[in-house]
Structures are given as C-alpha cells and as structure tokens.
Amino acid sequence: MLSDVLSDALRRQGRIMVSTEQQLDVDYPAGERAAIDSLRAQIAKLERELSGIVAAGFPHVSGAAVSERRSSPRLLSLGELEEIRDRLVQRVHNAQCRTGSRAEFERRSRALLERMKLEPGRYKFVRLPAADVGEAGCGVYQVRPRLGIVGMLAGWWELKLSSGCPLGWGPRASVAPGGGFKSERAHAFAWP
C-alpha cells in the first residue's frame, strides 16, 4: 500500500519509477542510457573473461582485487562505470600476463624434466616439483643414485618420482571406552 503511494508520487515527478518487484528504473536521456548499457555489457564480458582466466590458471593465477566500500547501495554514474571497466581491463591484462609467464615457466620445467630423463648423471640431486611441470599432486622428480652410495660411486643415476605427500606421524589414537587410548593401526611408525 505504502509502496504503491510512493511509486505513484515518484512516477508523477518523472524521476524514478519503482515497480512492485522493487526494481529501480532511472529515466536517463537516450544517449546516456545507450552508453550505460554498452558499458555494462563490456563490464560483464570482462568479468566473464577474467573468471575464465582465473579458473583455468587456478591456483597459480588469482583474480583477487581490492574492493571499494560504498556507504550505501546506489546507481553508478557513467564516469564510475568507465572507471570500473578500465580497472577490469587492467586486471584482465595482468591475469593474462601471469598466465603467460606461468605457461612459459611450466614449458621450461618440462624441458628440464626431459633433459633429466635423458642424462640423469648431469643433474645429480636436482629436485623438480610436479606442480612446476603442470601436474596435479605433491610429487617431486629427483635424480638419485640407483643403489645408494654404491650407485653414487659407480655413477648409476636415475630419475625418480616421489609421492611427495607426507606420511602420518605415528598411530592414530582414539579414546577407548575405559578412558585409555587404543591404536587404530597395527604399526606405530610409517616407512619413509
């Protein structure tokens, strides 16, 4: 009831039209309305592009930006929309540069991995994380002697991929009904 009265009063003044769904429709001049619609479309396109870049490059590329706090909700002016568009263009460019540099880093790491496979004796004790070559997981490629100290002295080197994931530290303990602890595993230690 009150919203209808307010809506009618504002409609008569020609400034703002409020529908029953509480959506605001500001009466702009035709040229400014077209410019605002164009800027909103450009902003939406840039936000989609930025989210695609961040999703493809996750976790190495982030799209985090400092957000500005406004005191209250309001409609943005043409100048404010242009500023937002310009900041988004810069963020998209920065994300593309980070993605490009990450791709180059992974390419160089894959080339190093290939050289390590071909000539492991030239890359003694070199470690290369699997994430650096674009693989998922926490593994590490490392050139190691084949039979420990004997292989080191004989020059027998090999490239190994470790799981890289840490093992548990001892048994998992849980409280037994009598108040003591009971072990969930039979062994009290993990092999390295």
Q: Which of 50, 51, 29, 38 is nearest to 82 (CA)?
A: 38
Q: Give the separation between CA 85 and CA 92, rounded to whole angstroms.
A: 10
| Domain regions of the chain by residue span | 2-60+77-101, 119-183
pTM score of the predicted model: 0.59
Give the Å distances, CA to CA, from 165 to 136, 142, 161, 162: 12, 14, 12, 8
- Residue 39, both tokens: 């800027």
What span, in angstroms and rounded, lies between the C-alpha atoms of 126 and 148?
A: 16
- Please give the average pLDDT of every successive group of 10 residues along the chain, which has 192 residues: 57 50 55 85 91 84 67 78 90 91 92 92 89 84 87 85 67 52 42 37
